[in-house]
Amino acid sequence: MAGLSPAASEVNLKNILVTGGAGFIGSNFVRYLLEVEPNIHIFNLDALTYAGSLENLKDLPDSKRHTFIQGDICDRTLVEDLLRRHQIDTVIHFAAESHVDRSILGPAPFIQTNVVGTFALLDAASQVWLREGNASAEGPRFHHISTDEVYGSLGPGDPPFSEVTPYAPNSPYAATKAASDQLVRAYGHTYGLPFTLTNCSNNYGPYQFPEKLIPLMILNALQGKPLPVYGDGMQVRDWLYVVDHCEAVHLVLRKGRLGETYNIGGNNQPANLEIVQEICAILDELVPYSAHRPHAKLVQMVADRPGHDRRYGMDINKIQTELGWKPRHDTANGLRDTVKWYLAHRAWIETILSRREYNQWVDQNYGERGVKE
């Protein structure tokens, strides 16, 4: 790649721009990075869409090293100004429209944020770092957060996705993430923008917005509502506890080679129905006086997601052998910790569930599937 060279063995991080840091993974990452990096300052740019919330950033350690900016990544002037004014040396780009079902019902915001927004960030970084030469002596870095969904769907006997698996995105969401990955590569190849890229599997854990499978099931079960499982429930995802993802991204930032992609996954591949049943069993145990026990009786098989990918699985050999990362949690302990977190954060749940936008989404997505309470 033009102008790219391997990173030094350990990179010094200083002024970081995190995009989407009020969302699920972004807020976990901000919290994690403040804990493990005592000398950095994080500038957190987030538009606070339905998926973002300042509630996710309330308990930050050493919060004076965190500055929140409400704004859109598509706002090129704002992004350039942040890069220059705060002498940003590292961009970590989480901001995205991230929910597959929403992308099926309305793809336009996905094109705007995931494609146009990523382009705006890349071009602003190229302007400030490369064309104006406004970069730290050690060299800047653009880290792009992506997904396993860019690789498409696996058949039952297929080997897991590796970094050289051809892209074959199936949903509008996956297609926009694939486009953003390709733009990142193109900016590295053509202009020499120093980048790293990670493709990760399904995350779960604290602060996940309850439109995604695991928090939706926990919250519905607690309220005695139906647990809607799409199709036959035998679809497989490679579940990863969110803190493990944060650790992996941090390692790539510090030691990953520029211009490289690393796959991240959980080595956890139960079918959706098994995950839901496991959550129900944990709730039966942790909430023994619930009127809704056994929670598994709330499971309702519903109409499938159009174009539903059958199976994902990540080959994590590269990040394991090069950087020494592997997941610390399996679904047994990760799910238990997650259920406990939601049980202990009723106020957070109330705030999210009371939003009109959330309830409209539930009616739109599940009403059409004939889910009855």
User: Which residues of this protein are in contact with ligand NAD, per CB under 6 A?
Assistant: 19-20, 22-26, 46-49, 51-52, 72-74, 94-98, 113, 117, 145, 147, 177, 200, 202-203, 209
Indicate which of ligand DAU, ligand NAD, none lies near residue 316 (CB less than 5 to 8 Å, by partner kind): none
* Binding of ligand DAU by 99 (CB under 6 A): yes
Nearer to ligand DAU, 267 or 272 (CB): 272
Cα(43)–Cα(16) distance, integer angstroms: 6
284 is catalytic: no
261's tokens: 């992609």
3-class secondary structure, 221: helix
Q: Which helix (H) or strand (E) holds 334?
A: helix 331-344
Q: How many residues bind ligand DAU (CB under 6 A)?
A: 19
* Binding of ligand DAU by 102 (CB under 6 A): no
Q: Cβ of residue 209: shortest distance to ligand NAD, in angstroms?
A: 5
Indicate which of ligand DAU, ligand NAD, none lies near residue 205 (CB less than 5 to 8 Å, by partner kind): none
Indicate which of ligand NAD, ligand DAU, none lies near residue 113 (CB less than 5 to 8 Å, by partner kind): ligand NAD
In the block, residue with structure tokens 């199976």:
311
245's tokens: 């993802």
232 is catalytic: no
Main-chain dihedrals φ then ψ at residue 239, nearest 5 degrees: -70, 135
62 is catalytic: no
Give the amino acid at 3.
Answer: G
Cα(144)–Cα(183) distance, integer angstroms: 10
125's tokens: 């970084």
In the block, residue with structure tokens 């394991």:
320
Cα(285)–Cα(100) distance, integer angstroms: 31
3-class secondary structure, 227: strand
What binding mask, one character per residue, do residues 219-258 give for ligand DAU by CB under 6 A, x or -? ---------xxx----x-x---------------------
**Residues with catalytic function:** 148-149, 173
Q: Which residues bind ligand DAU (CB under 6 A)?
A: 98-100, 147-149, 201-202, 212-213, 216, 228-230, 235, 237, 272, 305, 312
